[in-house]
Amino acid sequence: MQVIRHSEQALKTALISKNAELIKLYEKLSQGERRLLNEAFRPDCILFQPITVHSESDWIPSHPESTQDFEQFYQNPYRNTPSAKRSTIYVQPIEDLLKFLKQKKPKDAFCIVGITMIDLYPKESWNFVFGQASLTEGMGIFSFARYDSDFYSRNYKGQLKPVKKLTAGDYSVFDGYYTPPVTSTLLLRSCKTLTHELGHIFGIRHCQWLQCVMQGSNHLEESDRRPLELCPICIRKLHCALGFNIAERYKALLHWIDGGGCDVEDPGCSSKTHHLPKAVEDFKEHRAWILKCLDLLQQ
Ligand SMILES: [Zn+2]
Ligand SMILES: [Zn+2]
């Protein structure tokens, strides 16, 4: 196993930069926020760990990319930033999404993300059906099928049956789409993927600084290894794109984990509803980590 350890100076420059304007901008953050972000380059920091490479099939050895520090992110003229008018991220189950798109992209949409449990890519040749979905145009479709522990069983119910040829724009394969029980592992993996892909929509490239949800991942084991959270350098990028209070964001994440499940209609009887508890057992470690960050922010 190889540990990618950047020098204190390299991490400090990646986070704060040497550009006077950006240093000034950094100083506008609250003292607590800077205390948290500065953990990125504190030598005996435990909140943010260096990236480890476990094999040649991991993302970094198999996809050599240049790094992106805060300044490169900030200066990118093609970066998409939400505006007061386009500020909503729509996450839609794919059937609803397609109905949605038949009308029009809502005016206040910053981006639309479709999610499905149907396996979208059983073969390379299926790609064309979804060829028009593009993150840079603010639209993406993601399948979580391969995150389901049942996926590799032979009778996975979300497997598309290639009974007919599809043409671009024919989405009839989604009629009566499959919804598996949402296990905690499936929920955690899906949250990681969505957070990662949304990060790309905001212009954040793959992170090579510290362990971070923006690390590229080449396979499921590597994806499970990366944390759900952003490292300080990527937090600063997201903060710059959205302008939130860092502690409030962590509190909102805690609230989501601790909040209850949801009520769903009984498919057999529309007047009955079932309460589905939220499957968050796998989020325990993440929850403990958020509490440590809040401690540091509020000291
Ligand atoms: Zn990525
Ligand atoms: Zn990062």
Give me the interface pTM, i.e. the ipTM: 0.99
Which listed ligand is nearest to 233 at the C-alpha?
A: 2
Q: Which ligand is closest in space to the CA of residue 196?
A: 1
What is the Cα–Cα distance from 242 to 28, expressed in whole angstroms?
15
Q: How far is CA 277 from the centre of its chain?
A: 22
Kindly state the DSSP code that residue 149 receives in the 8-state scheme.
T
User: Would you say residue 128 lies in a domain?
Assistant: yes
- Give the model's pLDDT for residue 18: 97
**20 CA to centre of ligand 1 in angstroms:** 30
Q: Looking at the 3D structure of the chain, how many domains does it have? A: 1
Give yes or no for residue 156 having a pLDDT over 60: yes
Residues 6+ apart with CB under 8 A from 36: 47, 232, 246, 293, 296, 297
Taking residues 252-277, what's their average pLDDT? Answer: 75
pLDDT at 207 over 80: yes
8 inside domain: yes
If pLDDT is split at 50, 70 and 90, which confidence band does 158 have? low
Q: Is 65 a catalytic residue?
A: no
Q: Does 165 reside within a domain?
A: no
- Closest ligand, as measured to the CA of 230: 2
- What pLDDT sits at residue 132? 36
Q: Pick the more confident residue, 147 or 71.
A: 71
- The answer to whether 79 touches 202, Cβ cutoff 8 Å, is yes
Q: What is the pLDDT of residue 159?
A: 66
Tell me the average pLDDT of the chain. 83
Residue 107 lies in a domain: yes
Does residue 214 lie in a domain region? yes
Distance 71 CA to ligand 2 centre (A): 14
In a domain, 104, yes or no: yes
**Cα–ligand 2 centroid distance for 111 (angstroms):** 22
Q: How far is the CA of 226 from the centre of ligand 2 (A)?
A: 11
pLDDT over 90 percentage in the chain: 46
Q: Is residue 266 part of a domain?
A: no
Instruction: List CB contacts of 32: < 8 A, sequence separation 6 or more.
Output: 246, 247, 296, 297, 298, 299
281: CATH:
3.40.390.10
Please give the residue range of the domain that contains residue 234. Answer: 2-160+173-260+277-298
What's the average model confidence in pLDDT over 241-268?
85
Residue 200, in any domain of the structure: yes
What does the CA dihedral 235, 142, 116, 241 come to, rounded to 10 degrees?
30
Catalytic residue among 33, 95, 197, 248: 197
Look at residue 138 and give its three-state secondary structure.
coil
